[in-house]
Amino acid sequence: MPKYRIEFDREACIGALACNAIAPEFWTLAKDGKVDLKDATFNKETKKWVLVIEEKDFKVNDDAGYSCPVNVIKIIKIEE
């Protein structure tokens, strides 16, 4: 089954909260008004938050990514 990597540029996030409205189980409101990607780890090289998800979680996160007005959520297929 495919796996996907979510890459989230939190620094560029403007806190529109569209992703949170679509997928609150992954995208949570943070105290600073932006969102956090639950269980993600910070990649020091890319300066992005990263989370690997299963195929069953792809659609909701893809919709969340498309809803972002500043395109800070990228989803990349990493495995078949």
pTM, two decimals, is 0.93
Of 30, 28, 9, 12, the residue nearest 20 (C-alpha): 28
Residue 49 belongs to domain with CATH number: 3.30.70.20
**How many structural domains comprise the chain?**
1
Q: Which domain holds residue 71?
A: 3-79
Q: 11-67 pLDDT, tens per residue?
A: 999 999 999 999 999 999 999 999 999 999 999 999 999 999 999 999 999 999 999
H or E segment at 72?
none
Two tokens, residue 32: 């600073």
